[in-house]
């Protein structure tokens, strides 16, 4: 049963005193605004600790220019918890082109500048200024993905473990409920923070001569891996393989006479534990103090969404989920999810729509195979790519029923799946019931999927299935949509300049898009962030899993690759022509329907004014798979990227408004 909320946790000293607290057990410092919703890590951890009997006060986006703001509650009884926020602070602040963002979804009113760059490090150092040797435990995505030496895209170098630069005592990585509950219990019993060294899912620093509690997989010297790209790639590959709670071992890094110890991961929460976490009394919105600023934008997408699972065995190389949540999937019970759905229907602003029942990958409910429960995830292969493992167990039946049961609740009009489905897992299911149900009942006009590219070797570098799988899925999606008498769309996520992608590969994808009448408004440039194999490829030019060299485009070529995928934009035409000339494909510069761009002399585009037709500077609104305006010369009629048309005059529901915004 979901507990009824009573109040937000204290956000200032006055609110703590109103509870009768002389001081909190923990002060939780975060780079985000305080949103008490189970989609936010701070909300979950603070409520879990509260449930365990600890007093937790929130210090949200403190003034980091001095230590004074960190004295808001006085010295906490047990220590400080510190996180940069729901996402890495550098990703929150900068685009893939390293340009400053203008909007922060996790700050009041979307205002920028309320947290510093490298927030976890800055906050911890201010706490040390304020209180000296007070225990500091860091966690969240920023700490988790930077727990060992890591390539930092923004400074273009291999940085030390964030534990070194932050001067914290313990780093927690992965999903932290059981980790922090255990640390809190030990601190409460009087165990010194420097003696807490056996908790799984933690990283600590000690003398190089100290004994390590767990078996050790390997040790690396920071002074070596920061200079030697081959050794750095080897270090990452080993860390990735050991990131398993069943068979994982400790990993060490040397820093002079000191040593960083990464203990093996904490086992994932099982179903009953997840149910308890999501039953806690969250207020499910932002703190009322933000109302005058217009609230916190990040709540919009999750207000009426439900997380039903954790972990992902998809294993995309550009995604940090494998390094953070892990590759073993766990899910909540149907009863727990339905209880949450019932709660959402009682909110005054509920309009009848559950926006999502998802997670990292919406259509996963169980581990990929039973072997993972006893032996852990396979160290040297992926579950789905390049082809599904023979041991993969594909079953959508429980998820299908869960969606249907939620849809039957009073006041619920529709239940949508918006967090994205793994299309190759759908196609591996011999029972088409889920696919049919998804298309008929749970698509809000648009279905998000992630083919990412069409080139075979680029997809291999990404850890994605062959493009033929996506084409089969796409074809069947529109067939089923037409059978339902609906007009629905597909929003494909595309990525340019991923390691392995050449200008030739970008052109291959551009021609695929052109042939099928799709002109994407948004394309995601590959963004090298800590904790991903693709980032290692970008920095080293080496595939860490094979040891083989891999092509990495330079900055200029990255711009050309992206321009090719968005050839229809007027501002991209010069780059498109440059790319085509480089490739010796001047045949694609011309006036025929098969060409990507007009010759420069006939362009008609002027930056200082709009012109009609091909030279229009009006923003292209097409982000979904729409049909071409006229038949493409010399090509077959598109059979997949186009929107579906309803049979027998069925009423269409899709709108051409999709945007690239997925996590993968």
pLDDT along the chain (664 residues), means of 10: 83 96 97 98 98 98 97 98 97 95 97 97 98 97 97 98 98 97 98 98 97 97 98 97 96 98 97 98 97 96 96 93 91 98 97 96 95 93 94 97 98 94 96 97 92 96 96 96 93 94 97 88 92 97 97 96 94 96 96 92 56 35 41 35 47 35 37
Q: What is the chain's Cα-based Rg? A: 25
**How many C-beta neighbours within 10 Å does residue 430 have?**
6
**For residue 73, what are its two tokens?**
């509650």
State the DSSP string of 203-234: EEEEETTSPPSS-EEEEEEHHHHTT-HHHHHH
Cα distance between residue 56 and residue 72, in whole Å: 13
CB 348 within 8 A of CB 325: no
Cα maximum dimension of the chain: 78
* Residue 617 CA, distance from chain mean position: 33
Q: What is the pLDDT of residue 601?
A: 80
Cβ atoms < 10 Å from Cβ of 586: 12
Dihedral of alpha carbons 176, 178, 181, 184, sign: negative
pLDDT at 323: 87
Map residue 445 onto helix, strand or coil. Answer: coil
- 8 Å CB contact between 331 and 365: yes
Please name every residue paired with 353 in a beta bridge, in sequence order, or none if there are none.
414
Place of tokens 């919009």: 300
In this prediction, residue 165 carries a pLDDT of 97
- Give the helix/strand (H/E) hosting 93: helix 89-93
- What's the confidence (pLDDT) of residue 630? 35
**Contact present, 38 and 2 (Cβ < 8 Å):** no
Whether 465 contacts 426, CB under 8 Å: no
Domains of the chain: 13-207 (3.40.50.280), 301-444 (3.30.750.210), 491-626+635-642 (no CATH)
Closest CA to 151 of 452, 588, 533, 572: 533
Q: How many beta carbons lie within 10 A of that of residue 63, not counting itself?
A: 11
pTM of this prediction? 0.90
| Residues whose CB is less than 8 angstroms from the CB of residue 206 and which lie 6 or more positions away in sequence, other chains included | 197, 258, 259, 261
For 503, the token pair is 């200008």
Strands (E) across 489-646 are located at: 489-496, 524-525
Tokens describing residue 244: 């398993």
Strands 250-255 and 258-262: antiparallel
CA atoms within 13 A on the CB side of 478: 19
Rounded Cα–Cα distance for residues 635 and 176 (Å): 53
3-state secondary structure of 525: strand
């Amino acid at each position: 049963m979901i507990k009824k909320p009573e109040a937000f946790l204290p956000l200032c000293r006055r609110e703590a005193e109103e509870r009768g607290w002389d001081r909190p057990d923990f002060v939780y410092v975060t780079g985000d605004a305080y949103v008490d919703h189970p989609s936010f890590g701070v909300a979950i951890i603070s409520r879990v600790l509260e449930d365990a009997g600890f007093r937790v006060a929130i210090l949200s986006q403190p003034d980091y220019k001095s230590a004074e703001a960190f004295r808001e509650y006085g010295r906490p009884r047990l220590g400080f918890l510190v996180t940069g926020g729901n996402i890495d602070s550098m990703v929150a602040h900068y685009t893939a082109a390293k340009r400053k963002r203008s909007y922060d979804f996790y700050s009041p009113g979307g205002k920028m500048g309320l947290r510093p760059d490298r927030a976890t490090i800055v906050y911890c150092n201010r706490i040390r200024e304020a209180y000296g040797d007070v225990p500091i435990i860091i966690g969240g995505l920023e700490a988790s993905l930077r727990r060992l030496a890591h390539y930092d895209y923004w400074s273009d170098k291999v940085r030390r473990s964030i534990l070194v630069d932050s001067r914290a005592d313990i780093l927690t990585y992965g999903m932290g409920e059981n980790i922090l509950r255990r640390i809190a219990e030990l601190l409460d019993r009087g165990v010194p923070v420097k003696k807490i060294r056996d908790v799984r899912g933690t990283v600590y620093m000690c003398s190089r001569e100290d004994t390590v509690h767990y078996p050790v997989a390997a040790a690396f010297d920071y002074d070596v891996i920061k200079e030697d790209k081959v050794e750095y790639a080897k270090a990452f590959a080993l860390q990735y393989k050991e990131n398993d709670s069943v068979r994982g071992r400790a990993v060490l890094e040397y820093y002079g006479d000191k040593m960083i110890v990464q203990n093996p991961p904490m086992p994932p929460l099982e179903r009953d534990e997840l149910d308890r976490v999501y039953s806690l009394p969250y207020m499910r919105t932002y703190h009322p103090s933000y109302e005058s600023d217009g609230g916190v934008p990040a709540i919009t997408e999750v207000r009426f969404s439900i997380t039903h699972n954790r972990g992902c065995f998809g294993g995309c190389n550009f995604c940090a989920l494998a390094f953070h949540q892990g590759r073993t999937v766990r899910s909540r019970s149907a009863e727990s999810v339905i209880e949450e759905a019932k709660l959402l229907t009682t909110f005054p602003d509920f309009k009848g729509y559950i926006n999502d029942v998802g997670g990292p990958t919406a259509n996963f409910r169980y581990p990929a195979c039973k072997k993972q429960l006893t032996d852990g995830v396979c160290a040297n292969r992926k579950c789905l790519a390049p082809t599904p493992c023979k041991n993969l167990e594909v079953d959508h039946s429980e998820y299908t029923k869960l969606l249907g049961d939620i849809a039957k609740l009073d006041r619920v009009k529709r239940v949508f799946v918006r967090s994205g489905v793994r299309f190759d897992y759908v196609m591996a299911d011999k029972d088409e019931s889920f696919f049919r149900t998804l298309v008929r009942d749970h698509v809000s006009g648009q279905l998000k999927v992630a083919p990412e590219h069409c080139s075979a070797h680029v997809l291999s570098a990404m850890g994605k299935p062959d493009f033929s799988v996506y084409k089969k899925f796409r074809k069947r999606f529109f067939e089923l949509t037409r059978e339902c008498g609906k007009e629905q769309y597909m929003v494909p996520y595309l990525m340019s300049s991923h390691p392995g992608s050449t200008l030739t590969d970008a052109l291959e994808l551009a021609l695929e898009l052109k042939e099928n009448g799709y002109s994407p408004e948004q394309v995601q440039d590959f963004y090298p962030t800590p904790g991903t194999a693709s980032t290692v490829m970008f920095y080293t030019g080496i595939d860490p899993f094979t040891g083989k060299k891999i092509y990495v485009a330079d900055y200029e070529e990255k711009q050309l690759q992206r321009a090719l995928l968005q050839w229809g934009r007027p501002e991209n035409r010069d780059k498109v022509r440059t790319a085509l000339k480089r490739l010796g494909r001047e045949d694609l510069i011309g006036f025929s329907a098969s060409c990507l761009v007009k010759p420069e002399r006939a362009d008609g585009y002027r930056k200082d004014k709009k012109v009609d037709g091909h030279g229009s500077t009006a923003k292209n609104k097409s982000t979904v798979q729409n049909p071409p305006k006229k038949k493409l010369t010399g090509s077959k009629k598109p059979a997949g990227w186009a929107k579906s048309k309803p049979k027998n005059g069925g009423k269409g529901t899709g709108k051409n408004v999709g945007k690239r915004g997925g996590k993968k």
